[in-house]
Amino acid sequence: MTDLPLPDGFVASGHGGQTTAASTPWIGVFDPEINKEPQEGLYLAYIFDADLTAVTLTVQQGVTKLSEKLTQAELRRELKRRALRLRAGIQPELAVQWAYSPIFGARQERPRSYEAGSVAARRYDIAVLPPEETLAKDLRTASLLLRDAAASQRIWLQTPSPDEPFVYVNEGHAPADDPLDGFHPNDSSDYYVHIKGGWRRRERPHEELIGDFGHHAVTRGYTPITQGMYPRDLVLRRRIADEPRTWLVEGKAVMKGNATKAVREAVAQLLEYSYYWHEKRGEPKPHLIALFTEGVGQYAEYLEDQGIASIWRTPEGTWAGSPMAAAWNLIHDAGPN
């Protein structure tokens, strides 16, 4: 077909399988200035569900080249990690509108990798497809998301990993147009300490937790800030009904399944920081969030009763949480506000 409503300069190609039919056939839409092949890099794709009842338009990461270096489980984790950072380069309003996480209903490894590699997506039921004008408009929007993600990828790949932990500067900060301006979480790589008997590795799950959640918050329309916020872990800002709102986040690693210590420390620090760093300075009391590396069981109800939302990372790498967290659209099963 020569009359497809493709964005200017884009090309399309179908992929239904090679020796056998693909369980989730797809159509690739490529910007040659960004990427011409689906093996690596970023591109757009219409990927059909295994039962062919729906199709998803997704900003997709190439998986073939990466799969040659990693196991399937490692590949999916790496794709999800990269997707978090790439989503942070998308305009927050659009990130919220394109926050669908694809599920293609296939057990094969490749479709599962497509699910993990999705940066932004929108799903259509084939029986009730919107008008072609709407589909064409969505494709144009997706082309802009692709270019935003590609720009974010270039910056991310060119940025050297820090050799030293980040040093906070205790100074004021006003969010700029870039939602990640002022978001500089500490290095999450392992580090070594010298103790009697030799050197031992120490992991940094706390820094990784803050970094990953900050990037996730951008996709929900929030501006995450760490710069100038020490000793606070993270501050989120967002305008609701033209009123600026603030969320104070304290992250805790749950060690060996023992949530008691992590919850106690989170409550104490949230109340202290809220009082001294906000209320005593004449600022409105912030909303409070306790962030955890894993679920905290019955403590979620306790925290909610104290006016503190709880959010935790699930084994699948998504974010779950208490009713307040859902109301603030900060967990994966919460729809846009």
The mean pLDDT value for 304-317 works out to 92
The closest of 295, 334, 336 to 316, measured between CA atoms, is: 295
Alpha carbon distance 115, 137 (integer Å): 23
Instruction: Classify strands 223-225 and 234-240 as parallel, antiparallel or unpaired.
Output: antiparallel
Model pLDDT, residue 320: 94
For residue 164, pLDDT beyond 50: no
Model pLDDT, residue 336: 39
For residue 154, pLDDT beyond 50: yes
Assigned token pair, 303:
């925290």
Assigned token pair, 256:
């060996």
Domains defined along the chain, listed by start: 11-158 (3.30.920), 191-327 (3.40.1350)
Per-residue model confidence as pLDDT tens digits over 2-49? 777 888 889 998 887 766 778 899 999 999 888 888 888 899 999 999
Per-residue model confidence as pLDDT tens digits over 202-235? 346 778 888 889 888 888 888 888 888 888 889 9
Q: How sure is the predictor about 140, in pLDDT bands with cuts at 50, 70 and 90?
A: very high
Percent of the chain residues past pLDDT 90, beyond the cut: 43
For residue 195, pLDDT beyond 80: no
Q: How sure is the predictor about 180, in pLDDT bands with cuts at 50, 70 and 90?
A: low
Model pLDDT, residue 181: 52
Of 70-84, 117-131, 184-198, where does the model show the most confidence? 117-131
Model pLDDT, residue 199: 41
Per-residue model confidence as pLDDT tens digits over 56-112? 999 999 888 888 888 888 899 989 888 888 887 777 778 888 989 999 999 899 999
Alpha carbon distance 215, 205 (integer Å): 16
Do residues 220 and 327 touch, judged by C-beta distance below 8 A?
no
For residue 179, pLDDT beyond 70: no
Give Cβ neighbours of residue 157 (< 8 Å, ≥ 6 apart): none
pTM of the model: 0.53
Q: How sure is the predictor about 292, in pLDDT bands with cuts at 50, 70 and 90?
A: very high
> Which strands, in side-by-side order, build the sheet including 42-48?
11-15, 26-30, 42-48, 54-61, 118-125
Inter-CA distances, 10 with 32, 77, 161, 258, Å: 7, 30, 34, 52
Alpha carbon distance 82, 117 (integer Å): 8
Model pLDDT, residue 19: 67
Question: Quick one: how far is CA 157 from the chain centroid?
Answer: 17
Do residues 43 and 57 touch, judged by C-beta distance below 8 A?
no
Mean residue pLDDT across the chain? 82
SS (H, E, C) the chain: CCCCCCCCCCEEEEECCCCCCCCCCEEEEECCCCCCCCCCCEEEEEEECCCCCEEEEEEEECCHHHHCCCCHHHHHHHHHHHHHHHHCCCCHHHHHHCECCCCCCCCCHHHHHHHHHEEEEEEEEHHHCCCHHHHHHHHHHHHHHHHHHHHHHHHHHHCCCCCCCCCCCCCCCCCCCCCCCCCCCCCCCCEEEEECCEEEEECCHHHHHHHHHHHHHHHCCCEEECCCCCCCCEEEEEEECCEEEEEEEEEECCECCEHHHHHHHHHHHHHHHHHHHCHHHCCCCCEEEEEECCCCCCHHHHHHHCCEEEEEECCCCCEEECHHHHHCCCCCCCCCC
Which residue would you say has higher pLDDT here, 252 or 35? 252
For residue 192, pLDDT beyond 60: no
Model pLDDT, residue 86: 85
Q: Tokens 């996730």, residue?
A: 216
CA atoms within a 13 Å half-sphere pointing along the CA-CB vector of 176: 6
Alpha carbon distance 81, 180 (integer Å): 17
Which residue would you say has higher pLDDT here, 167 or 92? 92
